[in-house]
Amino acid sequence: MEEGINEEVKSIVRTLLTRKRIGGVHTPEAQLFRKFKNIHDKEIRKKIDEDWKQLETFGYLIRMKKRTKKGTDYHVSLNPKRVFEIKEWIEG
């Protein structure tokens, strides 16, 4: 997996893995990013967003638009085909 990924993004992926959000089980993306709302440095926020999009591009994350009572939100889960690679990346 990518070595240059930010520690904040790594902690989000670790959260998805420990909560077993794999495949059809998903969680709202905004809920995962709540703990970073106090980061006001634009450079760090930009790096987090770039790394998050990079994981989605490489197929480690599944991001889908879900209809909720308040409109539509993005929900994310881990790709079940890539779980073993993700576990190795988190542990190593």
- Joined together, the tokens standing for residue 45 give 């926020």
Q: What's 7-91's CATH class?
A: mainly alpha
The whole-number pLDDT of residue 2 equals: 59
What are the sequence ranges of the domains in the chain? Answer: 7-91
Q: Is the pLDDT of residue 79 over 90?
A: yes
Q: Where are the alpha helices (DSSP H) in 5-92?
A: 7-18, 29-32, 42-57, 83-91
CA–CA gap between residue 10 and residue 14 (Å, rounded)? 6
Query: Residue 43: which pLDDT band, with cuts at 50, 70 and 90?
Result: confident
Query: Residue 80: which pLDDT band, with cuts at 50, 70 and 90?
Result: very high
Average pLDDT over residues 59-85: 91
This prediction's pTM: 0.83
Which residue carries 């889960």 as its tokens?
77
